[in-house]
């Protein structure tokens, strides 16, 4: 199986030993505590699950700036996006050497992790501008990722972290949430020698379904891990339970047995386009995938990124050998009226726009909200039914 990023074995930061876990939980009750931002909480969940291997905790200022500048930490670890715990106040933890990190997304703010505080530093305005530009390629406050990144504060609290639970993800999504450790184990249990990872924050339409099948065939993979984001999204995005139900129905009917794993991960979407695509590749390698599908406008939002910027970054900015996982580059995929099947548009040079069934996201949402199913060439009817029920419930 493919090695994790940056180490020979996966080193999740979740405390699996029950005695140590109980001792830390008791200790946390008497420690100074800090309420995390949602972004910092999801970073803890990802570290706990092994997705951010080989990090041992949150990054300090110098590593954060270094990662933004050249995608390497000061110790030489390739990493595309800083993994931070940033806050707007530190008065309750200023002199603390060890603190309890509390979960903002669960009622009562239970302890999510325990952290050894190595540094509390303040990002300057120049730091924030530089990091924002490098991560998001824009400083536009209308960009949802830029807005979130700049809203949480300026104080960077860094140090080794031990994770005690997986926030709401394990309880709210018991059939879907998986750690990188669990996915690696499941890939082995399936007997797969090669696995493809497919990222989604949306329901999967016909083109996504066929793209997974095309990628599996092209690289000779045994199966695909459909890996959906379960964390915070921007307003208007379809909630995770609806996406989960739609994807499960599609896989149940339209994929061969033992060819798909339906899983999810606890991370808040960054909408950082190219940089986020590289981060997605890092943690897909950590969960055991050999190939990662990067499609058109991967992890993008609005018009902030070029259609294939998330692919070209792997050619132009990711050094050779920095990652072991391979990227499967996908073009826009659509149903061909000529060929009566879904194709990548680049593979059909003799087609005009009218030869494809193309619908905008806005048009699809309008149809679903009106109780009108998109054409079967675009969306499987069973999937459309689940989405129609959701949209009509929203309108009621």
Residues 37 and 150 in one domain: yes
- 8 in any annotated domain: no
Query: Choosing from 102, 178, 201, 243, which is the catalytic residue?
Result: 201
**Assigned domain for 385 exists:** yes
Sign of the C-alpha dihedral computed for residues 116, 121, 125 and 130 taken in this order: negative
The residue among 143, 170, 197 that closes a domain is 170
DSSP 280-331: HHHHHHHTT-SEEEE-TTTT--TTSS-TTHHHHHHHHTS-TTS-SSEEEE--
Are 138 and 66 within one domain? yes
**Measured between alpha carbons, how far is 325 from 196 in angstroms, rounded to an integer?**
10
Query: Which of 118, 141, 170 is the last residue before a domain boundary?
Result: 170
Q: What is the pLDDT of residues 213-265, one digit of tens each?
A: 999 999 999 999 999 999 877 777 788 889 999 999 999 999 999 999 999 99
Residues 131 and 49 in one domain: yes
Given pLDDT bands bounded at 50, 70 and 90, which one contains residue 83?
very high
Q: What gap in Å lies between CA 220 and CA 209, rounded to an integer? A: 17
Q: Domain with 24 in it: what CATH number? A: 3.10.400.10
Residue 165's pLDDT band (boundaries 50, 70, 90)? very high
Q: How many beta carbons lie within 10 A of that of residue 244, not counting itself?
A: 20
Region of residue 52 (left: phi > 0; alpha: psi -120 to 50; beta: else): alpha
Asked if residue 329 and residue 214 are part of one domain, the reply reads: yes
- CATH code at 360? 3.40.50.620
- Measure the CA–CA gap between 245 and 268, rounded to whole angstroms: 20
Are residues 193 and 342 part of one domain?
A: yes
Is 69 part of any domain?
A: yes
Q: Under a CB-based contact definition with an 8 Å cutoff, are residues 111 and 166 in contact?
A: no
Instruction: Please check whether residues 98 and 240 belong to one and the same domain.
Output: no
H-helix or E-strand spanning residue 103: none
The pLDDT score that the predictor gives to residue 334 is 85
201 catalytic? Reply is yes
Report the distance separating Cα 141 and Cα 149, nearest Å: 10
Q: Report which DSSP code applies to 106.
A: S
Looking up tokens 């800090």 gives 34
First to last CA, the chain: 49
| pLDDT of 396 | 58
Regarding whether 165 and 185 lie in a shared domain, the answer is no
- Point out the least confidently predicted range of 11-15, 47-51, 249-253, 348-352: 348-352
Structure tokens at 352: 């005009």
Residue 360 lies in a domain: yes
Domain final position from 138, 170, 202: 170
Answer yes or no: is 12 within a domain: no
Contact 269, 201 (CB under 8 A): yes
Instruction: Answer yes or no: do 267 and 337 share one domain.
Output: yes
Q: Are 107 and 49 in contact (CB under 8 A)?
A: no
Q: Out of 202, 248, 296, 365, which one is annotated catalytic?
A: 202
In a domain, 3, yes or no: no
Are both 197 and 320 inside the same structural domain? yes
Domain span at 361: 176-395
CA atoms within 13 A on the CB side of 207: 21
For residue 373, the model assigns a pLDDT of: 86
Phi, psi of 340 (to 5 degrees): 60, 35
266-277, pLDDT tens digit by residue? 999 999 999 999
Residues 160 and 194 in one domain: no
Say yes or no to pLDDT of 107 above 90: yes
Same-domain check for residues 243 and 94: no
pLDDT digit string, tens, across residues 311-343:
999 999 999 999 999 999 998 888 889 888 888
Tens of pLDDT, residues 341-396? 888 888 888 998 888 888 766 678 788 888 888 888 889 999 999 999 988 877 65
Distances (CA, A) of 178 to 52, 181, 185: 14, 8, 11
Which tokens in the block code for residue 189?
A: 């249990």
Domain count for the chain, please give it.
Answer: 2
> By the 8 A CB rule, do 233 and 269 touch?
yes
The answer on 182 and 113 residing in a single domain is no
Answer whether residue 305 shows pLDDT above 90: yes
Respond yes or no: is residue 365 known to be catalytic. no
| pTM across the whole model | 0.94
Buried b (16+ CB within 10 A) or exposed e, 181-209: bebbebbeebebebbbbbbbbebbbbbbb
User: Token pair for residue 393?
Assistant: 């419930």
Instruction: Enter the tokens of residue 27.
Output: 């200790």
Q: Is residue 126 part of a domain?
A: yes
Q: Compute the mean pLDDT over every residue in the chain, rounded to the nearest whole number.
A: 94
pLDDT given for residue 368 in this prediction: 83
pLDDT, tens digit (0-9, with 9 covering 90-100), for 114-160? 999 999 999 999 999 999 999 999 999 999 999 999 999 999 999 99
Q: Does residue 7 sit within a domain?
A: no
């Amino acid at each position: 199986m493919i090695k994790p990023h940056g180490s020979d074995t996966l080193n999740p930061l979740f405390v699996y030993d029950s005695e140590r876990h109980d001792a830390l939980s008791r200790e946390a009750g008497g420690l100074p505590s800090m309420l995390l931002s949602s972004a910092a909480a999801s970073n803890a969940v990802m570290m706990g699950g092994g997705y951010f291997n080989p990090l041992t905790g949150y990054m300090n200022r110098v590593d954060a700036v270094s990662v933004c500048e050249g995608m390497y930490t000061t110790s030489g670890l390739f990493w595309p996006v800083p993994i931070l715990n940033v806050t707007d106040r530190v008065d309750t933890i200023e002199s603390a050497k060890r603190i309890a990190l509390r979960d903002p997304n669960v009622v009562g703010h239970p302890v999510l992790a325990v952290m050894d505080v190595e540094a509390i530093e303040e990002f300057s305005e120049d730091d924030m501008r530089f990091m924002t530009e490098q991560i998001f390629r824009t400083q536009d406050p209308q960009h949802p990722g830029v807005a979130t990144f700049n809203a949480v504060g300026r104080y960077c609290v860094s140090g080794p972290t031990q994770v005690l639970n997986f926030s709401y993800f394990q309880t709210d999504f018991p059939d879907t949430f998986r750690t990188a450790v669990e996915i690696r184990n499941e890939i082995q249990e399936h007997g797969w020698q090669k696995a493809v990872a497919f990222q989604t924050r949306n329901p999967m339409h016909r083109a996504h379904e066929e793209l997974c099948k095309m990628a599996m065939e092209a690289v000779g993979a045994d199966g695909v891990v459909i890996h959906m984001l379960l964390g915070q999204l921007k307003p208007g995005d379809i909630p995770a339970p609806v996406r989960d139900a739609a994807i499960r129905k599609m896989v149940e009917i339209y994929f061969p047995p033992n060819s798909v794993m339906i899983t999810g991960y606890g991370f808040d979407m960054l909408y950082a386009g190219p940089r986020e695509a590289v981060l997605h590749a890092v943690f897909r390698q950590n969960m055991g995938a050999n190939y990662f599908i990067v499609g058109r406008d991967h992890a993008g939002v609005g018009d902030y990124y070029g259609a294939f910027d998330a692919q070209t970054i792997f050619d132009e900015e990711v050094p050779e050998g920095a990652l072991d996982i391979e990227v499967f580059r996908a073009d826009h995929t659509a149903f061909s009226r000529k060929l009566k099947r879904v194709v990548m548009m680049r593979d059909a040079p003799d087609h005009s726009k009218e030869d494809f069934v193309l619908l905008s996201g806005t048009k699809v949402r309008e149809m679903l909200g009106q109780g009108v199913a998109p054409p079967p060439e675009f969306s499987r009817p069973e999937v459309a039914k689940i989405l129609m029920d959701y949209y009509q419930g929203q309108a009621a």
